[in-house]
């Protein structure tokens, strides 16, 4: 189901700046039994991303009304919210008055093979390098061509996710996930001040690990570092935590870390 500005619809105006320039942000969330997982955090992140681009974020209650409309007939789904700056302006310049557009899209929960969890997943090291744009870093905006090109790099269905690096050979994330590693009992994840998306699941895992008394480092991680680590894991709001089992010739055995983080993810807001 699709809800556009509060009403069921399949289309948006051509002149929406979301299409014209990718001038907007989005979130992808898991809905079970009609409840959006970690909704408060998702809304906070949506509002923060809008603020970073000076887009007026719709009120939480407005979006909750839209979401209720969308999930009533589909209580278990993936829910995507897009907020664009709206229509108008001449060229890149903003109109003096602009009303943001909000779009809610539901899709069936993806069915991944159970072995992704049992056996872990395989990573492809993407050739594309993510560019450094501090003004956009961390934000889940609609300018996602880098991710599209990265995802187009492999066709092997055995490969589940791509590893994104920047041009300093620092690891950024997966194509549609954040990355964690365990080293000497501490949890490390890439610093995202220059590129990448700081997802809600990433924030929850960091808070949970801190609450568990685990050492945390948000730092520079290189692909070579991964090879020595105890565990490499991916997370996002739809799939939770997945264990990386293989990256090129390197394999990691299951050692409980991914299950632990996935449990933590479900314990914290």
Three-state DSSP at 166 gives strand
Residue among 33, 54, 184, 256 that touches a second copy (CB under 8 A): 54
Q: Which of 67, 81, 103, 123 binds a second copy (CB under 8 A)?
A: 103
Q: Is 16 in the site for a second copy (CB under 8 A)?
A: yes
Identity of the residue, 61 or 92, whose beta carbon is nearer to a second copy in the bound complex: 92
Judged by CB, which is closer to a second copy: 38, or 147? Answer: 147
Contact 178, 199 (CB under 8 A): yes
Other beta carbons within 10 Å of 196 = 25
Mapping DSSP onto H, E and C, the string for 54-98 reads: CCCCCCHHHHHHHHHHHHCCCCCEEEEEEEECCECCCCCCCCCCC
Binders of a second copy: how many residues, by CB under 8 A? 54
Contact indicator for 121, 181 with CB cutoff of 8 Å: no
Q: Which of 173, 176, 178, 189 binds a second copy (CB under 8 A)?
A: 176
Q: Is 23 in the site for a second copy (CB under 8 A)?
A: yes
Task: Check residue 187 and report its DSSP letter.
Answer: E
Work out whether strand 159-166 and strand 121-130 pair parallel, antiparallel, or are unpaired. Answer: parallel
Among the listed residues 38, 106, 147, 173, the single contact to a second copy using CB under 8 A: 147
Tell me the closest approach of the beta carbon of residue 152 to a second copy, in angstroms. 6
Q: Cα angle at 138 between 251 and 235, to 5 degrees?
A: 35
Give yes or no for residue 97 binding a second copy (CB under 8 A).
Answer: no
- State how far the Cα of 249 lies from the Cα of 122, in Å rounded to an integer: 10
In the complex with a second copy, which residue's Cβ is closer, 52 or 225? 52
Beta bridge partners of 87: 16
178-237 positions binding a second copy, by CB under 8 A: none
Determine which residue in the list 51, 59, 149, 211 makes contact with a second copy, applying CB under 8 A. Answer: 149
Residue 144 interacting with a second copy (CB under 8 A): yes
Given a contact cutoff of 8 angstroms between Cβ atoms, the answer to whether 254 and 246 are in contact is: no
Q: Which residue of 35, 62, 72, 133 would you call a contact of a second copy, by CB under 8 A? A: 133
Interacting positions 240-269 with a second copy (CB under 8 A): none
SS3 at position 33: coil
What residues line the site for a second copy (CB under 8 A)? 2, 4, 9-23, 26, 53-54, 82, 84-85, 90-94, 103, 105, 107, 110, 128-129, 131-133, 135-136, 141-152, 167, 175-176
């Amino acid at each position: 189901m699709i809800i556009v500005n509060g009403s069921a619809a399949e289309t948006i105006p051509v002149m929406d700046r979301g299409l014209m320039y990718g001038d907007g942000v989005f979130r992808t969330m898991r809905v079970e039994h009609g409840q959006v997982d970690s909704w408060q955090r998702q809304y906070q992140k949506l509002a923060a991303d809008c603020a970073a681009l000076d887009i007026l974020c719709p009120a939480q209650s407005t979006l909750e009304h839209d979401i209720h409309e969308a999930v009533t007939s589909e209580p278990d789904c993936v829910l995507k919210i897009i907020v664009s700056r709206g229509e108008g302006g001449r060229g890149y310049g903003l109109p003096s008055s602009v009303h943001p557009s909000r779009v809610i899209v539901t899709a069936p929960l993806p069915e991944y093979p159970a072995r992704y969890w049992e056996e872990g997943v395989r990573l492809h090291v993407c050739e594309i390098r993510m560019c450094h744009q501090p003004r956009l870093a961390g934000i889940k905006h609609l300018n996602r061509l880098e991710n599209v090109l990265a995802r187009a790099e492999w066709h092997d269905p055995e490969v589940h996710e791509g590893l994104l690096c920047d041009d300093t050979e620092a690891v950024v994330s997966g194509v549609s996930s954040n990355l964690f590693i365990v080293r000497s009992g501490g949890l490390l994840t890439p610093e995202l001040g220059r590129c990448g998306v700081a997802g809600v699941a990433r924030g929850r895992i960091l808070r949970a690990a801190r609450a568990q008394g685990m050492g945390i480092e948000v730092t520079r991680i290189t692909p070579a570092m991964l090879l020595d680590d105890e565990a490499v894991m991916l997370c996002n709001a739809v799939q939770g935590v997945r264990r990386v089992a293989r990256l090129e010739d390197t394999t990691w055995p299951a050692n409980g870390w991914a299950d632990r983080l996935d449990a933590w993810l479900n314990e914290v807001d």
